[in-house]
Structures are given as structure tokens and as C-alpha cells.
């Protein structure tokens, strides 16, 4: 996944900043400021486990709020979604192995549903609506933003894996 920042002056790897943001949100952070505060309060062992570079004698340091804000605002959401989906798919224990006869079989089931993202509003006040396709094991194979009034059936075909 491409890093939206210039190469010059980067102190924190993109994966580290994104991992910090994910952990902060899972811990209850609801704003960019709260994400940066969570990261600043995280112990050095947590920062190291999330991939923080250790340039200081005391261990890794958290990025500043401005860094968190710039990275998250500039990150391509579709590219991030695809990177996470690919990473998760590679860890699916039920996925067919390449080169084996079972690799030609389609997944046993696929559930498709649309949901409104809670707590997220655009600057114009509208909410974000997502359509996701998930396997029986809980792996999201595809996800797409859709209009809130859209019929899920009409959007499902273009969202199918391999047709994006």
C-alpha cells in the first residue's frame, strides 16, 4: 500500500501509524486527537510490538498528533481496505491452497449486507453506507461504499471479488 507522505523526514512507518490508529479505535478513540493521545500514552512495549522504530534509548516513540492526522487524512481508504482484505484472506484457514484440486471450488457461502457506519458523518452531514461480502468463516472478501438509498442487490455484482 502506498505511503501518502514524502520520503524525506518520515520518522514513523506507515504500517506503525495505521496499527496505532486501529488499536486506539478498538480501545474507544473516536477522534484523531483521541487516537494521538492513546498512542502517546501507550507503553514502549506496545509501541515496539506494533512496529515502532526504536531510535531512542528508551524505545520507540509515538508519532505526534499532526503526523497521525496527516497520515490518516491522506491514506487511500480503498487501498487500505484492499491491503487488509488481502492480508486477512492469506490467513483464512479455509481458503483453497494453490495447485490443489480444491482450489477450483467456490466458497461454500457468501453473505452480503449493507450497513450504515455509526459515528461517521461527512462534512455535509450525510452518513457513510457500506456494502460488504463475507464468507461463512467471517472473512470480508469485498467492501464498497454505496449510496444510502441503494438496493443492495443491484450493487452486489460489481462488488464481487475479481470484478472490482
pLDDT digits (tens, 9 = 90+) for 32-91: 999 999 999 999 899 999 998 887 777 788 999 999 999 999 998 888 888 887 887 777
Q: What are the CA-CA distances from residue 40 to residues 14, 16, 98, 143 (Å)? A: 17, 13, 43, 32
Between the alpha carbon of residue 160 and those of residues 1, 65, 81, 138, 144, the distances in Å are 21, 37, 14, 16, 10
Alpha-carbon Rg for the chain in angstroms: 19
When comparing pLDDT for 108 and 49, which is higher?
49
- The dihedral through the CA atoms of 54, 57, 58, 63 has a sign that is negative
- Residue 63 carries which DSSP code? P
Beta bridge partners of 110: 135
pLDDT in tens, 117-142: 877 777 888 888 888 888 777 778 77
| pLDDT, greater one: 153 or 115 | 115
Contact 144, 100 (CB under 8 A): no
Whether 103 and 97 have beta carbons less than 8 Å apart is answered as yes
Give pTM, 2 decimals.
0.63
Q: Cell triple for residue 11?
A: 520518522
| Total Cβ atoms within 10 A of residue 117 | 11
Amino acid at each position: 500500500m502506498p505511503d501518502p507522505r514524502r520520503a524525506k523526514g518520515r520518522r514513523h512507518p506507515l504500517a506503525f501509524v495505521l496499527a496505532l490508529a486501529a488499536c486506539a479505535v478498538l480501545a474507544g478513540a473516536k477522534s484523531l486527537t483521541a487516537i494521538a493521545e492513546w498512542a502517546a500514552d501507550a507503553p514502549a512495549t506496545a509501541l515496539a510490538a506494533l512496529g515502532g522504530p526504536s531510535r531512542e534509548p528508551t524505545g520507540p516513540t509515538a508519532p505526534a498528533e499532526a503526523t497521525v492526522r496527516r497520515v490518516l487524512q491522506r491514506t487511500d481508504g480503498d487501498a487500505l481496505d484492499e491491503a487488509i482484505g488481502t492480508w486477512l484472506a492469506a490467513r483464512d484457514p479455509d481458503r483453497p491452497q494453490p495447485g490443489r484440486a480444491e482450489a477450483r471450488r467456490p466458497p461454500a457461502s457468501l453473505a452480503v449486507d449493507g450497513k450504515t457506519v455509526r459515528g461517521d458523518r461527512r462534512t455535509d452531514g450525510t452518513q457513510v453506507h457500506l456494502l460488504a461480502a463475507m464468507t461463512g468463516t467471517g472473512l470480508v472478501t469485498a467492501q464498497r461504499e454505496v449510496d444510502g438509498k441503494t438496493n443492495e442487490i443491484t450493487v452486489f455484482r460489481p462488488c464481487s471479488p475479481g470484478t472490482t
